[in-house]
Amino acid sequence: MSIKVEPISDAVGATITNIDLRKEMTPDVLREVHQAWLDYQVLVFPEQQLDEENQIRFTANFGEVGGRNRKVPTAEGNSVSHPGIMLISNIRKDGKPIGSLPDGEMMFHSDGAYAKRPFRYTLLYAIEVPSFGGNTKFSNMYKAYDALPEDFKQRFSTCHAEQVYYAGSLQKDKPSESLTGRRIHPLFIKHEETGRTALYASRLITTRIEELSRQESDEALEQIFEISERDEFVYEHIWTPGDFVVWDNRCLNHARTDFSGGERRLLRRTTVLGNDPAPATLSTA
């Protein structure tokens, strides 16, 4: 029996049903899921019942499972079965969070952009969610690139952007002690599987465009952020326990909406390591 793939917005994303991810996928189903991922960038698998082993096994189908590169011990410690598992939670034990990124909203970003090998995919499984808020927004960076003015594309076609990660902080001016990466990547990247061009910049992680003065860089980045965060390019996912949502960091940014600190939120994250992003070749057509 074949999986069912249904688009969920004009911006990005599809729901996949008629599949139980506790079971091994056949080669045919694996190919279908992978193609849907390339076509829709975000996949939502509702009503799943995944333990850590299930999630790691599914993740490993798509490449090398990512690890945690931190200068300080992770909040999870030895409470998870695999070093690549990250708990995203505001639940506290003895006054300390049991996971990472516990509270409040988070600006748009791409996971791992600060590293030489950014994460190709992020996979997030919902265990407990608040009654309101804590939604995840996904911005289609293919469409954001396409929407840039042609003179902007020409002017910045060979530019590079600095990506900086502040672990545990939602504000650029408040880095934490677990700062783990700083990397220069092309501003426009070529997706190595689809060949499409995507913007590679985000409000949270991108600090400057290397080839420009500070003022020019700030102005250009603000234009990029404004375009990439337009409603027509964004899908907002409202979580339900059992949702397994997976996305492609090579062509998406994501953000989190605010939620009440008085309600529990617990999600389990895994990642797949990618490659050093390659610059896009600007079309002259």
| Domains of the chain, each with CATH number or no CATH | 4-279 (3.60.130.10)
Amino acid at 99: G
The predicted structure's pLDDT at residue 284: 47
Say how many Å lie between the first and final Cα of the chain, rounded: 43
The DSSP call for residue 276 is: P
Tokens 């469409």 sit on residue? 143
Q: What is the pLDDT of residue 96?
A: 85
Looking at every residue in the chain, the average pLDDT score rounds to 91
| 185-200 exposure pattern, b = at least 16 Cβ within 10 A, e = fewer | bbbbbbbeeeebbbbb
CA distance to 111, 139, 158, 181, per residue, from 235 (Å): 17, 7, 29, 28
Which residues, 6+ apart, have CB-to-CB distance to 150 below 8 Å?
Answer: none
List the chain residues with pLDDT less than 70: 1, 68-78, 166-180, 283-285
Residue 192 neighbours by CB under 8 Å, 6+ apart: 250, 275, 278
What pLDDT does 130 receive?
A: 95
